[in-house]
Structure 1
Amino acid sequence: MPFNHTFKLWDGDSKKKTVRKVASFNTSFLINIFRVNNSVPGEGVAFLVASNTALPPGSSGQYLGLTNSSTDGLSSNNLEAIELDTFKQDFDPDDNHIGLNINGVRSKKTVSLSDFGIQIAPNGTKFYVVWIEYNGLNKSIQVYIAEQGSTGSHVQLNCVLRWNLTVEILPGGNRGSDLFKIWIAVGVTVFVLVLLGGLTYYWYKKRKARSDPNILGALKSLPGTPREFKFRDLKNATNKFDDKHELGQGGFGVVYKGSLPKENLEIAVKKFSGDIKGKDDFVA
């Protein structure tokens, strides 16, 4: 069960490894490793820290989903794990121990839990809270675990019921945060450009409206000007400017025949074209 989020655990910018800052972190689990029908336990479960979430091929069984027969122990694996082992291999102290693994399943340090009266995979149901804490300042592990498990020919249910993880943030360690900042910067830039474009268009239209003659105002000032109608009424009167009602076409638009039933009037309606260049001539 990978936690699909990257963290920067050490500062790799420093040339001297001894002065590199290492992030501190802690995590805790509520787990239950359950034997199905009181059978022989499977291989165990491990908490893994690695550079990616991909499972190596052939990593089932004793390899706990960490490595395989050809890659086990290689430094190129770049992984560290805490294992809760429930099946004894030739290199294990017993079938009930906790181990610190680096780049492989052969633990660098093991502690048998039987001496403390703890049975990782007992008969029946038992829940354990596992707490791990890594101190990046003095590079010590008090408790360390993450969840990555597998089974071999024997079966057990590895149940993680609760998981908490807290990691110290190093400078530049959160790629998701960096990407979020980039998107914020791009979004603000685009918003400003759109706003400037809108203001420019508004200013242009307003200036154009002031410079062009107001044909409607000019018409209203003429003596004997016909009464004003709403466009909606004229549209209904001409049946939506139906071609069947067309009377003719002049220099400024098409003339339609219409009727106003409420007033019992026959009218002629001129619909101006969208581009009237000779407004002064029309008014004259």
Structure 2
Amino acid sequence: LAATNLDIGIQYWLGAKVEKPGQLVVPAKEVSEFVSYLGAEKLTLAAEGKLKLKITSRSGETVFNGMDPAEFPQIPAVNQEKTVSLSTAELSQAVNQVGFAAASDDSRPVLTAIYWQFTSTGYQMVATDGYRLSQKTVAVKGVKLTDKEEAVFLVPARSLIELVRLAAEEKEFRFGLTDDQNQVVFLLPSLQLNSRLIEGEFPDYQKIIPQQAKVKVMVDREAFYRAVKISSVFARESANIVKLKLEKEKIIISANAPSVGENKTEVEAKIEGQDLTIAFNYRFLLDFLNVIPEKEG
């Protein structure tokens, strides 16, 4: 089975008794919905002419109108000798901790991508939507996709998030580039996922990240998360803004909405540096807190 929207494509192999090989192109949405309503039973698939698919089950027969297979886009292939292997668990954690910061608006395609950089010591992922930025570094040795010491790819965040979902039960996966280096191909035992790479210049994120911190805060993740959630009840009616006031040994999280009321919650914390008051979009805080382990803070 193969499907593509030209940005991302998937091929899936499943067991079947094939009496006569052939190809058909059928409407994915309607066939998917139809099959989901059937029980756990064997199906017989047969081509009726060149443009129709007949599905026979215990309860009846169904025919779907199709298209000429020659019109279906060609799924790119990759030379498996030029692929490398990565841990699914490590990639899954990296994508989850970075992907949330990628833009969902396609007006600036480069911001919908995850910046994926490979070096001799591993890889790092970076994503930003222009308002927030998340970076994750993973130590891996012996990963080399090109002749260069360093390689950078802009992979759509949606593609990597979909890969993580599909590869959840696999320990490892392989991936490589197509010969024209315009697409990346991920290989699993019974599945291949390919994604186009995004062209453009990713923001110079290293200039955005401060080299030194004037204030450092250590706080219990769960307590801080709960306080932000409480304040969000009021922040939703006030442009999603919550205020954080850093004082000696505590953080005061507050939100004020004229039509609802106001709230202040104190959380114990270890603070190094001067007192500070700063405001954030509470959704940005929750997105980050949702993807870090509970013991971190």
Q: Is the TM value for this pair above 0.5?
A: no
Q: Which structure has more strand as a fraction of its residues?
A: 2
Higher relative contact order (CA 8 A, sep 6+): 1
Q: TM-score, normalised by structure 1?
A: 0.20
TM-score, with structure 2 as normaliser: 0.20
